């Protein structure tokens, strides 16, 4: 089976860290997946410890049948992205992963001082839905079989074992 | 060894619900994905079936349906489907136990369970791709999608 990223990183991707770094770490994640919740602080720590050394991309992979709030959370991050607050929404969702609800998401938008009318409109924006579905399709084509799945410079990371060290080892 | 590419897919007729059976010929003119797996409820199988659940939209885009097959009974399948919100049929290779899995070379005599094997069957009932995974490895959907795409190209 292939273990390479089929759809290359583009400007459409949500990216943080050093935009010019040679190392690019891509995560396929689901906001309601507890394993992604475990990985979230690891990524934050990596971005600090290896500051400037890599670029981090997050792509949505919402497993909707298992996680009823996953799609709405994915759309919320994309909608916040429209107001340049993708990563702020990304963080707040993961930090409150266990209490996600439509109300909670509207509350996050309020906390991030997003334009509420626009945000609610974007939650129903077809283009954003297609973007999430495209992310998902690209992940499926690349052999993502669960979340989180990481790719470093296009190659699937098989060494991650839910520990910070297993991720940090990629950069040491 | 599991049946390989180019083989005619062996027929089957198995229970999918307590009062309904499905057979291979029901899918003539469509592409069919058969996903044999060891057991309902086991962690890897659950992840694999949940993943296919999310991939249904894509499978349909390629005119393909998917069936899961294990030796679990129809009642067990029903509970598993309900619990995991599965939207595709699971077939019970229950009596005679493992008969269909054996026909596809996908039966483990030692454990008495189906192997984790995938088959993509074309509109005419010919196997166009097959893959055997270790029991502990979720094969994902990429191999299936690649096979379906390849079939589109060579049509």
Owning domain of residue A63: 14-168
pLDDT digits (tens, 9 = 90+) for B76-117: 999 999 999 999 999 999 999 999 999 999 999 999 999 999
What ipTM was predicted for this assembly? 0.88
CB pair distance less than 8 Å for A143 and B140: yes
Mean pLDDT of B6-19: 97
Annotated catalytic residue B45? yes
Q: Does the structure show a pLDDT above 60 at A127? A: yes
**Number of structural domains chain A divides into:** 1
Specify if A25 maps to a domain. Answer: yes
Specify if A76 maps to a domain. Answer: yes
Give CATH superfamily name and number for B13-26+38-153. Answer: Glutaredoxin (3.40.30.10)
Specify if A46 maps to a domain. Answer: yes
Q: How many angstroms separate the CA atoms of A14 and A9, rounded?
A: 9
Interface mutation target, options B53, B142, B143, B145, chain A, most CBs of A under 10 Å: B142
| The pLDDT of residue B46 | 76
Whole-number Cα distances in Å, A160 to A132, A157, A168, B131:
24, 7, 10, 25
Specify if A7 maps to a domain. Answer: no
Q: B14-19, long-range: CB within 8 Å, 24+ apart, which pairs?
A: B14/B69, B14/B91, B14/B92, B14/B93, B14/B94, B14/B100, B15/B74, B15/B91, B15/B92, B15/B94, B16/B67, B16/B74, B16/B77, B16/B89, B16/B90, B16/B91, B16/B92, B17/B74, B17/B78, B18/B74, B18/B75, B18/B78
| The pLDDT of residue B135 | 87
pLDDT digits (tens, 9 = 90+) for A6-28: 999 999 999 999 999 999 999 99
Interface mutation target, options B141, B144, B145, chain A, most CBs of A under 10 Å: B141
pLDDT digits (tens, 9 = 90+) for A53-101: 999 999 999 999 889 999 999 999 999 999 999 999 999 999 999 999 9
Cβ count near B109 (within 10 Å): 8
**What CATH number should be reported for the domain holding residue A117?**
3.40.30.10
pLDDT digits (tens, 9 = 90+) for B21-79: 999 999 999 999 999 999 999 988 778 999 999 999 999 999 999 999 999 999 999 99
């Amino acid at each position: 089976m292939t273990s390479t990223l089929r759809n290359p990183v583009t400007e459409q991707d949500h990216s943080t860290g050093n935009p010019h770094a040679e190392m690019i770490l891509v995560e396929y994640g689901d906001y309601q997946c507890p394993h992604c919740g475990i990985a979230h602080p690891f990524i934050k720590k990596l971005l600090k410890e290896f500051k400037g050394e890599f670029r981090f991309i997050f792509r949505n992979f919402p497993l909707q049948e298992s996680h009823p709030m996953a799609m709405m959370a994915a759309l919320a991050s994309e909608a916040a992205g429209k107001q340049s607050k993708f990563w702020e929404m990304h963080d707040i969702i993961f930090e409150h992963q266990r209490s996600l609800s439509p109300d909670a998401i509207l509350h996050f938008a309020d906390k991030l001082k997003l334009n509420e009318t626009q945000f609610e409109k974007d939650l129903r924006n077809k283009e954003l839905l297609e973007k999430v579905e495209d992310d998902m399709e690209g992940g499926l084509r690349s052999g993502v079989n669960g979340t989180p799945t990481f790719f470093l410079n296009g190659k699937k990371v098989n060494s991650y074992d839910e520990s910070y060290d297993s991720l940090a080892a990629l950069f040491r | 060894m599991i049946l390989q590419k180019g083989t005619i897919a062996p027929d089957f007729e198995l229970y999918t619900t307590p009062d309904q059976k499905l057979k291979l010929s029901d899918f003539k003119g469509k592409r069919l994905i058969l996903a044999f797996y060891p057991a309902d409820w086991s962690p890897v199988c659950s992840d694999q079936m949940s993943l296919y659940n999310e991939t249904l939209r894509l499978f349909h885009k390629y005119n393909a349906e998917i069936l899961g097959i294990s030796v679990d009974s129809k009642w067990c399948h029903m509970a598993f489907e309900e619990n995991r919100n599965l939207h595709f049929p699971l077939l019970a290779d229950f009596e005679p136990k493992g008969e269909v899995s054996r026909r596809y070379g996908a039966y483990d005599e030692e454990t008495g369970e189906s192997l984790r094997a995938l088959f993509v069957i074309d509109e005419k009932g010919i196997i166009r791709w097959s893959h055997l995974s270790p029991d502990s490895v979720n094969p994902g959907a990429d191999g299936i999608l690649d096979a379906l795409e390849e079939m589109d190209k060579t049509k």
